[in-house]
Structure 1
Amino acid sequence: MKNSLIQKYNVPGPRYTSYPTVPYWNEAEFSYEDWVSSFKKSFIESNSAEGISLYIHLPFCESLCTFCGCTKRITKNHSVESPYIQAILKEWRLYSQLFDEKPIIKEIHLGGGTPTFFSTKNLEDLINGIFAYANKAENYEFSFEGHPNNTTHAHLQKLYDLGFRRVSFGVQDYSEKVQKAIHREQAFHNVAKVTFWARAIGYTSIGHDIIFGLPFQKIEDVVDTIEKTKSLQPDRLAFYSYAHVPWIKGNGQRGFKDEDIPKDNEKRILYQVGKELLLKNGYHEIGMDHFALKTDSLYQSFKNGKLHRNFMGYSSSKTKLMIGLGVSSISDSWYSFAQNEKSLTDYYQLLEWDKLPIFRGHLLTDEDIIIRKHILNLMCQFETSWDNSSTHFKEIPRVLEQLREMENDAILIIKENGVQVTDKGKAYVRNICMAFDLHLKRKAPETALFSMTV
């Protein structure tokens, strides 16, 4: 039965960092002016009430990791740092001119690329430059992604001094064979060193990212990685499926053969073994692919029903407005999405013209907003309901047809006006969300768009 479920539900599907997903954005109906109007509306509604979030994309890496699906630029030339920081600050000043009042920043996340590619001086200039035009919320949360091989004690100390209290380190897998295949060779002692440094400095949430389904990865590799992880006791973990999408990222994900990648039941066993070890070691499942200790804010947010998910991933608090700064970043006003230019040259050019570097976006319809609520509920709380006008939509009978089949497979329970994901169904939450995805139902993709759900 377990094998048949994997065969049945292992289909291409979105990860739902947004709804609608990017391939279904209605770019033809979107304009620069629409985004500015939407952004202003959201700012007025949210700034004083909850503050805003910033995602800052720092795209540079010294070497290419072949598992990575992010927008990045590979270089060892660190002279690119300062011009890029100044460009981000120019973008932020352009946004600041649209504010009716000084923004209150609740969240900042530095992603990449490799944020610790940048010197401590440039990171300090970045954060100080942001707060030349903004204030911190009382309960702010600043986080960044660190590469264990190049995150120094000085990086950790400087970012701590600037208000950062959460850091996540990319581990992926400790097997030398797997690391060589994905071009991410890093010793366990490098991860241990930066984890101990962060804890000693005073970081309150330290995360590790682990991937299952990597080329050449075996059960013993997952067990070894999690046992080593247990010894370091990170506060939270992302344990997620490798997304093999070479048709999107080109040769960057062709450093190994397709037959080297675990598939279907073999891959699901890697997940199952890893999940059971994490639960055994005191971690609790939080949303999709995430685990946390009871002492971590992500767990507390999940238990209190306040967990949120956006383009930054899972967050312990919700802000209606998230501004993405930097090349390829995506902004979210709740009413619309807007993505920055992916080309560094085009990004710089638009900023020189004193224009926000946006090249596409989507205006959410009333229906989009309702479906988005359901998908967020499923992703963040493993349940959703449609018992009032703000969550009801006319296609519910059609969705229920698919949900009943899933109920027969024991991956969810249908209630009078809602649905609850079972423990077995948590592994298939992407598939459950797909049942609500009206854009996907109306127009199935004709070419490869998404990674496999299992």
Structure 2
Amino acid sequence: MKSLIQKYNVPGPRYTSYPTVPFWDDATFSETAWVANLQQAFSVSNKTAGISVYIHLPYCESLCTFCGCNKRITRNHGVESPYIDALLNEWAMYCKLLPEPPRIAELHLGGGTPSFFSPEQLNRLLSGIFSRALPTESPDYGWEGHPNNTTRDHLQVLYEFGFRRVSFGVQDYDPVVQKAIHRIQPFGNVQNVTDWARQIGYTSISQDLVFGLPFQTTDSIVDTIHKTLTLRPDRIAFYSYAHVPWIEGVNGQRGFKDSDLPTADQKRQLYETGRDLLELAGYVEIGMDHFALPHDSLYKALEAGTLHRNFMGYTTTRTRVLVGLGASSIGDVWSAFAQNEKNLDTYMSRIAAGELPLLRGHVLDDQDQFLRRQILAIMCTGETHWHLGSWSKQEWATLRDRLHAFWLDGLLEYDAEGLRVTPAGRPFLRNICMAFDERLNYAQPQTRLFSQTV
């Protein structure tokens, strides 16, 4: 394993989409193209599966130095109301483009810190969303709460709108690690919000842990996992820390030195230690970096072969339309992507001017869509299938050469009809998907775009 880590620990995408954002071709994209693709996908999706909606709530009261999300740090809660107004105006613009009220099958509030917003403002937001939309019969609604500022009222308000999933960011309980990442929260706070969520009736409570953080040790991972297991969350996201301080907007990651981070081998050991403890406690590894108990819908989706992956990560709901609202949010209608303005002030000003605040996007050609299906299947199920006629002779020769190296290392099995990732290959899912990533392989970027794969 040590030699494989040294061989395959390279920068690589997490494949929440294909093509990945750095390789979008803006020349193919326009607002007109985005709207046309949205309307076509909506006509297929809304009556059958409904649509998905992601709402980005970017404000945080303090900077967590491990975070790579788009956010703005402030203690001024006067920003809440204007931002909610902007979100509702953006939603109204989208609804005017659609021939009938949307049916929302999947809804997620992310950030930033959604619990930065008061329960009253979240109630106003969701009342406005559902004034123009309906829920499907069995919706999947979730949100992200900070254990230090999530109140019982937050949980209750969102529950009344149909939210049954909540994830709490824990990261690590070690005080040295917490100080380094500027995320100080006692176990008691996590226990309180977990208990409240269960008492109210949430059926899927998740806790987010991170491995590879500065000063993290095997002992701290063991202690964090043991504390987490006493609360028995239904899901656990055990994320790899993505160290990307060169990316604009995440300069908080320069709050510690590279030498404070575990090496690649040490980082992998942290993951394997945590994974073994979770599996011993009855959790099942799902896709990449996720675990769930057998009663949870994420595990059931894995067993049923319906697990999906999009910009919100692994989900149990597969719709053809994902509308992204808020600064930096990304929409996905399978044949096209669109991202909103990242800069919060620019986003707000464009909404005020009555414009869709689109920054960039990509319209997928036939090859993009074919490769997207292969990568999505590998990320969700660990295998994929095709007909040899799907590839030209040269394409198949190139892919075969890329896959053969993984086969020699025992990471996958493949033939002319498809491939299957072996148990030894699970840590290298991202690398295997890179073999299919024609836009990445063609561009051969000379600058760092992604975090390390291990």
Q: What TM-score, normalized to structure 1?
A: 0.98
Structure 2 unmatched ranges of 5 or more: none
1:211-240 deviations in whole A, cap 9, x for unaligned?
Answer: 000000000011111111111000011111
Partner Cα separation in structure 1 for residue 415 and residue 297 of structure 2: 30
Q: What residue in structure 2 maps to residue 39 of structure 1?
A: 38
State the percentage of identical aligned residues.
58
Partner Cα separation in structure 1 for residue 411 and residue 178 of structure 2: 34
Q: What residue in structure 1 maps to residue 360 of structure 2?
A: 360
After TM superposition, give the deviation of residue 415 of structure 1 in Å.
3.7
- The equivalences for 1:155-234 within 5 A come to 155-234=154-233
Aligned to 2:265, the other structure's residue is in SS state helix
Asked whether the equivalents of residues 173 and 210 of structure 1 are also in contact (C-alpha less than 8 Å), the reply is yes
Partner Cα separation in structure 1 for residue 306 and residue 346 of structure 2: 38
Partner Cα separation in structure 2 for residue 235 and residue 32 of structure 1: 40
Q: What residue in structure 2 maps to residue 58 of structure 1?
A: 57
Aligned to 2:87, the other structure's residue is in SS state helix
Q: What residue in structure 2 maps to residue 19 of structure 1?
A: 18
- The equivalences for 1:354-433 within 5 A come to 354-387=354-387, 395-433=395-433
Q: Which amino acid is 1:436 matched to?
A: F
- The equivalences for 1:220-299 within 5 A come to 220-248=219-247, 249-299=249-299
Asked whether the equivalents of residues 68 and 250 of structure 2 are also in contact (C-alpha less than 8 Å), the reply is no
Q: Which amino acid is 1:446 matched to?
A: Q
Asked whether the equivalents of residues 140 and 317 of structure 2 are also in contact (C-alpha less than 8 Å), the reply is no
Large movers: runs of 4+ above 6 Å = none
Q: What TM-score, normalized to structure 2?
A: 0.98
Q: What residue in structure 1 maps to residue 112 of structure 2?
A: 113
Which deviates more from structure 2 when the two are superposed, residues 404-413 or residues 301-310?
Answer: 404-413
Aligned to 1:436, the other structure's residue is in SS state coil
Q: What residue in structure 2 maps to residue 129 of structure 1?
A: 128
Asked whether the equivalents of residues 367 and 393 of structure 1 are also in contact (C-alpha less than 8 Å), the reply is no
Which deviates more from structure 2 when the two are superposed, residues 393-402 or residues 47-56?
Answer: 393-402
Query: How many residue pairs end up in the alignment?
Result: 452
The CA RMSD measured in Å over matched residues stands at 1.1
Partner Cα separation in structure 2 for residue 388 and residue 107 of structure 1: 35
Q: Which amino acid is 1:101 matched to?
A: E
Partner Cα separation in structure 1 for residue 407 and residue 171 of structure 2: 33
Partner Cα separation in structure 2 for residue 134 and residue 393 of structure 1: 45
Aligned to 2:323, the other structure's residue is in SS state strand
Partner Cα separation in structure 2 for residue 191 and residue 209 of structure 1: 11
Asked whether the equivalents of residues 370 and 393 of structure 1 are also in contact (C-alpha less than 8 Å), the reply is no
Partner Cα separation in structure 2 for residue 397 and residue 273 of structure 1: 39
Aligned to 1:228, the other structure's residue is in SS state helix
Which deviates more from structure 2 when the two are superposed, residues 397-406 or residues 119-128?
Answer: 397-406
Q: Which amino acid is 1:385 matched to?
A: H
Q: What residue in structure 2 maps to residue 79 of structure 1?
A: 78
After TM superposition, give the deviation of residue 416 of structure 1 in Å.
4.3
Partner Cα separation in structure 2 for residue 323 and residue 219 of structure 1: 40
Q: What residue in structure 1 maps to residue 88 of structure 2?
A: 89
Asked whether the equivalents of residues 235 and 293 of structure 2 are also in contact (C-alpha less than 8 Å), the reply is yes
Structure 1 unmatched ranges of 5 or more: none
After TM superposition, give the deviation of residue 387 of structure 1 in Å.
2.5
After TM superposition, give the deviation of residue 161 of structure 1 in Å.
1.2
Q: Which amino acid is 2:356 matched to?
A: L
Aligned to 1:254, the other structure's residue is in SS state helix
Aligned to 1:362, the other structure's residue is in SS state strand
